[in-house]
Chain A
Amino acid sequence: DGGITQSPKYLFRKEGQNVTLSCEQNLNHDAMYWYRQDPGQGLRLIYYSQIVNDFQKGDIAEGYSVSREKKESFPLTVTSAQKNPTAFYLCASSIWGYEQYFGPGTRLTVT
């Protein structure tokens, strides 16, 4: 069963802690993406990766970090430097330039 998985679905953290969100895909896509969505808002690109061992900053990369050591995996770390980390985080993958397939998302709450 092909697709993208994100875990966990809900995540709660205390302010000042780093937290890593998981994203795995078995669609054999080279490109992977992380978006942030706030209530009633659109999708804002955090980081993207066109190929293994390479990634680029998106529009709102400050306070976030990523790695792309394997084609299937693109974890996102929300660091304590991110001022407003509470949001819905979506991971996606695609063949570069084609439609994106999204995971179910992780709702992060930081208090």
Chain B
Amino acid sequence: GQQVMQIPQYQHVQEGEDFTTYCNSSTTLSNIQWYKQRPGGHPVFLIQLVKSGEVKKQKRLTFQFGEAKKNSSLHITATQTTDVGTYFCAGIGGAQKLVFGQGTRLTINP
């Protein structure tokens, strides 16, 4: 079945450093979604990418969808303590079912 792998599993940075998490699917995706879960909270939808090669920005966050629609990345520029949390990618494949990656847990040293 469809699998979505996310790396790294954990990332610790100094405040102000950049952060990137990568997502890879075993199959071509129709779209990919990104979610953020704050410590002790629940996942909150950030963005959806649909087109091959698509790039979207939300302030310091940049999301990319690969040309082959099998990989994606989230890049945060100049991290702030409010960025702490776990970032999940989730892809929709042929079965139209959303499959979540394992998540990347970001911690920040102020």
Contacts and interface: CB of A to CB of B under 8 A. Distances in A.
B96 A96 contact: yes
Contacts of A42: 6, 88, 100-103
A90 B105 contact: no
A2 interface: no
A103 B44 CA distance: 10
B100 A104 contact: no
Interface of B: 6, 33, 41-45, 48, 88, 90, 92, 96-98, 100-103, 105
Q: Ordered nearest first, which 9 A-B pairs have the shortest CB separation?
A: A42-B102, A99-B45, A102-B42, A43-B100, A42-B103, A102-B43, A105-B42, A97-B96, A42-B100
A101 interface: yes
B interface: dominant SS: strand
A43 B48 CA distance: 18
Contact of A102 (B33, B44, B103): B44
Interface of A: 35, 40-43, 45, 48, 90, 92, 96-105
Contacts of A104: 41-42
B71 to A, nearest CB: 17
Contacts of B88: 42-43
A99 B98 CA distance: 9
Nearest to B104: A42
29 contacts: A35-B100, A40-B105, A41-B102, A41-B103, A42-B6, A42-B88, A42-B101, A42-B102, A42-B103, A43-B43, A43-B88, A43-B100, A45-B97, A45-B100, A48-B97, A90-B43, A96-B96, A97-B92, A97-B96, A98-B48, A99-B45, A99-B48, A100-B33, A100-B43, A100-B90, A101-B45, A102-B43, A103-B42, A104-B41
